Amino acid sequence: MRAIRSAVPVDRAPRVAAPPVEPYRIKVVEAITLPSAEEREHALRRAGFNVFNLLSEEVFVDLLTDSGTSAMSDRQWAGLMVGDESYAGSRNFVHFEETVRELTGFPHILPAHQGRAAEHLLFGQLAHPGDIVPNNMHFDTTRAHVLHVGARPLDLAVPEAYDCEDRSPFKGNVDTRKLSALLSGPLAAKVPLVVVTLTNNTGGGQPVALANLKEVARICREHRKPLYLDICRWAENAYFIRTGEPGQGARSIREIGREIFDLADGAVMSAKKDGLVNMGGFVATRDPGLASRLKEDLILFEGFPTYGGLARRDLEAIAIGLREATDERYLEHRVGQVRFLAALLDAHGVPMMQPPGGHGVYLDVGRFLPHLSPEQHPGQALVVELYREGAVRAVEIGSIMFEDPSGKERSPLDLVRLAIPRRVYTESHLRYVAETVARVWARRDSVRGLAMVEAPERLRHFTARFAPLVG
Ligand SMILES: *Cc1c(COP(=O)(O)O)cnc(C)c1O
């Protein structure tokens, strides 16, 4: 099943092959407009130089996140119309539960309003004050939820995950030697569960190899620790396994997925990613005792177990979207868009995390703005500059998102993510983004730093305010 490629020569960047042609056509459009330079400057000031405070109408191409920003299919929209909004026992829940069970094999499925709600439930039950939770790399909300219960998040990614120039294909892998040492060492009793995030969002959307997952599962079994997966981008991860891991090329995404899930005790998922919906998530587990405790918490925090904080029609859209996300032509186009944007930027010499991952291009801030010191918040300065240049909205994934507020621990990676929403933008939007980034790259020496003038204690990247440094 090969995707159709454009036969039209790409004139403006002859060295870059076009991405696969969209395996869909557009039925509904949403107008976007490019604000003037003056309007962008005004918007930045009002927003306190934090693009989370911009109105979406002030943005031209919005690459802030791929979370909940997917375009739903006609079938998903049709699914909303067969919503059965019964408080209990809705048929949409039945369809949702059947689908998640069929795809994952996990017997107990609890819907939640989004990924962090699933994390709240899972860590609320499994992690306790003083515990240590290992993960390849914690994403922002995962980290915050581990901290919220008084436990310590510990990142155990392989060393190459921290090297933007290393081109290993599975940089999301767990350092199994370190995991083994942790679980055989004096702190082993403090580890309530092991988590692996597919793909590694914090480290560039890098995939985890099936061989690595098998080894992690073996170590967890040996030490009797439950293994939970963050599967919000599992289909993208399975696509990398299919196309990049020896012996996997003939297998379907669902087969690979099923082998991955069979290794684990359960999972959390933000369906806002590979569920192709705007809202939703779930927790899944094989443990019936845990499932009933989770159910009690679910009723307290989210809602009755057959809706879990969602409209029942949303569960229908998730059930349909989860299947659509396993279509190989869709995934080839999706990952192809990311690779295309990376190739355009690479042709200009723009430094980024290589190889490009599954859901976005991550610019390497240290090599982009080497003249700015960490105190000048170069990642945020780059995000601001991309907006200033072309109303492109990106996000800092580095010290502001991950440094602890005391400033003692600096994030080992300083990246700016250009996340590509699913089925939303076309090749020409990506060309526009590449040209915007390339113009900032050409005048990078002129980019000045920022001071953080307001910083909340937790998840501060969402609401902090900044001011330009003068001089
Ligand atoms: C998005 C995300 C979450 C949290 O999901 P939300 O639906 O945004 O609450 C958790 N883990 C990872 C890796 C994510 O990318």
Ligand 1 pocket check for 141: Cβ under 6 Å = yes
Ligand 1 pocket check for 69: Cβ under 6 Å = no
Ligand 1 pocket check for 261: Cβ under 6 Å = no
- Ligand 1, atom nearest to 117 Cα: 9
- Predicted pLDDT of residue 10: 42
Compute the distance between CA of residue 224 and CA of residue 218 in angstroms, rounded to an integer. Answer: 10
Domain boundaries of the chain, sorted by first residue: 10-62+328-468, 74-324
- Ligand 1, atom nearest to 272 Cα: 7
Smallest CA separation from ligand 1 atom 5, residue: 115
Ligand 1 pocket check for 142: Cβ under 6 Å = yes
* Residue 10 alpha carbon to ligand 1 centre in Å: 36
- Can you list the residues of the chain whose pLDDT is less than 70? 1-14, 403-409, 471
- Ligand 1, atom nearest to 271 Cα: 7
C-beta of residue 151 within 8 angstroms of C-beta of residue 123: yes
* Residue 184 alpha carbon to ligand 1 centre in Å: 30
C-beta of residue 236 within 8 angstroms of C-beta of residue 276: no
Ligand 1 pocket check for 333: Cβ under 6 Å = no
- Ligand 1, atom nearest to 200 Cα: 13
Which of these CATH numbers, 3.30.470.30, 3.30.420.110, 3.90.1150.10, 3.40.50.11720, describes 10-62+328-468? 3.90.1150.10
State which of 65, 136, 141 you would mutate to test the pocket of ligand 1, scoring each by most atoms of that ligand within 8 A of its C-beta: 141
* Residue 270 alpha carbon to ligand 1 centre in Å: 5
CATH fold for domain 74-324 = Aspartate Aminotransferase; domain 2 (3.40.640)
Ligand 1 pocket check for 197: Cβ under 6 Å = yes
Q: pTM of the predicted model, to two decimals?
A: 0.95
- Predicted pLDDT of residue 9: 41
Ligand 1 pocket check for 206: Cβ under 6 Å = no
- Would the CA dihedral through 347, 21, 331, 117 be positive or negative? positive
Compute the distance between CA of residue 435 and CA of residue 337 in angstroms, rounded to an integer. Answer: 15
Ligand 1 pocket check for 114: Cβ under 6 Å = yes
Q: Which of 349, 308, 358 is nearest to 172 (CA)?
A: 358
Ligand 1 pocket check for 360: Cβ under 6 Å = no
Smallest CA separation from ligand 1 atom 10, residue: 115
State which of 52, 65, 67 you would mutate to test the pocket of ligand 1, scoring each by most atoms of that ligand within 8 A of its C-beta: 67
Ligand 1 pocket check for 67: Cβ under 6 Å = yes
* Residue 144 alpha carbon to ligand 1 centre in Å: 11
Smallest CA separation from ligand 1 atom 3, residue: 115
Helices (H), 302-426: 312-324, 328-347, 365-368, 378-390, 399-402
Ligand 1 pocket check for 232: Cβ under 6 Å = yes
User: Can you read off the two tokens belonging to residue 362?
Assistant: 């991550």
User: Which residue is it, tokens 């309003």?
Assistant: 113
Helices (H), 47-158: 74-81, 91-104, 115-126, 140-148
* Residue 267 alpha carbon to ligand 1 centre in Å: 12
Q: Between 210-222 and 253-262, two packed helices, what is the crossing angle to 10 degrees?
A: 20
- Ligand 1, atom nearest to 197 Cα: 13
Ligand 1 pocket check for 281: Cβ under 6 Å = yes
- Ligand 1, atom nearest to 273 Cα: 1
Longest dimension (CA), the chain: 63
- Predicted pLDDT of residue 409: 66
Enumerate long-range contacts of 180-183, CB under 8 Å, 24 or more apart: 180/219, 182/132, 182/134, 182/154, 182/156, 183/219, 183/220, 183/222, 183/223, 183/225
- Ligand 1, atom nearest to 201 Cα: 13
